[in-house]
Structure 1
Amino acid sequence: MEKVRMLSTLGLMGAMRSLSSAFEAASGIHVDADFAPTLALLKRLRGGEAADLVILTREGLDEMIGEGRVVADSAADLARSYVGLAVREGAAHPDIASEAALRQALLAARSVAYSRLGASGVYFAQLIVRMGIAAEINARATIVEQGFTAERLIGGEADLAVQQISELKQVRGIEVIGPVPHELQTPAVFSAGRMVDAQQAEAADKLLSYLALPEVVPVLRQSGLEP
């Protein structure tokens, strides 16, 4: 079976798992996928790791285009993603509807789990500085190097987990409270592109075309993303 090698940001893991199966059934092309935070993927690509297709944050993809690694006119924006908060299943949902409420909820948490490498973690680190509560939050934060922050809710390491909503939804046994108030965030845009040195350029183009189809939209929505 023909294969296409895809490196994708964690934010699209849920959606891409089901979309890859549907694409394989329709095209007979197997998607060999690897998921990691954008910053980790950029490092791997700069280190010479081979791929046919990449899905990164728009900023990350633009860097790869600028470095001549991704074909500029292959770039396509797939989805928009908001950062949200989650609690362990059955736990009370704090009010996070306004900046003041969010501030109170964060300060009241025993520990807040957020990621170091993901776009959401970079954003959250800046947000708490802007809100003037960075020292208090970081003194007892649970920093996740890579992977899903909501996993830290299961074992009770943290009371609140912060990440892209699409990533929070990957973890069982948790409940997403909702997004950080929209006026406090700039949504991350996830974009796909074909690598300049793709071994399977034709297969990569077929997958890119497939991801632009209207039937992909409900799958993105279900996984917590906005098309």
Structure 2
Amino acid sequence: MRYSLLGSSLLTLVLSLMPPIHADQSAAPDHTLAVISSTGLKAVLDELLPEFEHTTGYKVAVKYGPSAALKQQIEQGAPFDLVVLTPAFIEDLIRQGSVVPDSKHSIARAGMAIAVRAGAQRPDIRTTNALTRTLLEAKSIAYAKQGAGGIYFAALTDRLKIAERLTSKSRPTETGDQVAHAVAAGEAELGILPLSEILPVPQIEVLGPFPPEVQDYAVMVGGVGAHATDAAAAKKLIAFLTAPGAVAVIERKGMELVK
């Protein structure tokens, strides 16, 4: 409890030391900060945003989804003040002129993991050989085809030279939420997701992270929109999410700082 209170105090202190956006807190802005974010950061934002809103007077509206799908929506004209996606997509948006280049900032990362239904058998994935055996013996495997987990899993199975052998048992979905639902409902034996997308779902459990030699991470990178309604507020939100006081929340949600 002492650590939690300390984290909250640090977050408040960081906000108080930053240049104020609005001199009169009672005259809170009508503008709602529009955020587009990968689902990988949802658990962190769900806990931290109420503190940001309370301290600054801003309201924040977040649209979640897989990074690839959200990038497409931005390319089609979706408005935003702050976007949080995986690095390659942020770089693409910078090249396209949609994100301010010097606003890019890594927020956190989550290791890839495998989910199973709560109470289900827990096969061995501690080594690459054991992982390969478990994947080949699984009856069904769900992953979000446009999400970080799906992109990682496609590369992994190619690397292990088992992609073709898994075709019949693959259960691709549109979103990470659908992966979690499939595992919870018993429609998929295994689910491939970033750790931060497994922990919030009570009906599923973390079987484990991938072995270190094949592990990878979903890195969440924030960037301010080139046409943001309030770029200063968007930058303030990035600073808030990367302040020392946010570390406890980030780690509790299955993520870690980017080193």
For the residues of structure 1 that align with 2:118 and 2:187, how far apart are their CA atoms? 14
User: Is residue 2:143 matched to residue 1:114?
Assistant: yes
SS in 2 for 1:192: strand
2:156 corresponds to: 127
| Match in the other structure for 1:71 | 100
In the TM superposition, 1:172-191 aligns within 5 A as 172-191=202-221
Cα RMSD for the two superposed structures: 1.2
**1:100 partnered with 2:129:** yes
> For 2:217 and 2:256, how far apart are their aligned partners in 1?
10
Is structure 2 residue 69 aligned with structure 1 residue 40?
yes
- SS for the counterpart of 1:92 is coil
The aligned runs of 1:1-227 (5 Å cut-off) are 1-2=28-29, 3-148=32-177, 149-227=179-257
Residue in structure 1 matched with residue 15 of structure 2 by the alignment: none
Letter in 1 for 2:148: A
Q: What TM-score does the superposition give when structure 1 sets the normalisation length?
A: 0.96
Counterpart of 2:89, as a letter, is G
How far residue 8 of structure 1 moved from its aligned partner, in angstroms, is: 0.3
Q: Secondary structure at the match of 1:90?
A: coil
Measured against aligned partners, the alpha-carbon deviations of 1:34-74 in whole angstroms (never above 9, x if no partner) come to 10110001100000110000001111111111111111111
Give the match's secondary structure for 1:172.
coil
Q: Is contact 2:40-2:218 (8 Å) kept? A: no
Moved more, 43-52 or 104-113: 104-113
1:13 deviates by 0.7
TM-score (norm 2): 0.85
Percent identity of the aligned residues?
Answer: 37
Name the stretch that deviates more: 7-16 or 199-208.
Answer: 199-208
Q: What secondary structure, in the 3-state scheme, does the structure 1 residue paired with 2:136 have?
A: helix
Three-state SS of the structure 2 residue aligned to 1:87 is strand
Q: CA deviation at 1:188?
A: 2.5
The answer to whether the 8 Å contact 2:176/2:193 transfers is no
| Inter-partner Cα distance in structure 1 for 2:170 and 2:187 | 9
Q: What is the CA deviation profile of residues 191-227 of structure 1, one whole-angstrom value per residue up to 9, with x for unaligned ones? A: 1010010012222122112112111111111111111
Where structure 2 has 5 or more consecutive residues not aligned to the other structure, the ranges are 1-27
Residue-pair matches, total = 227
Shift of 1:147: 3.2
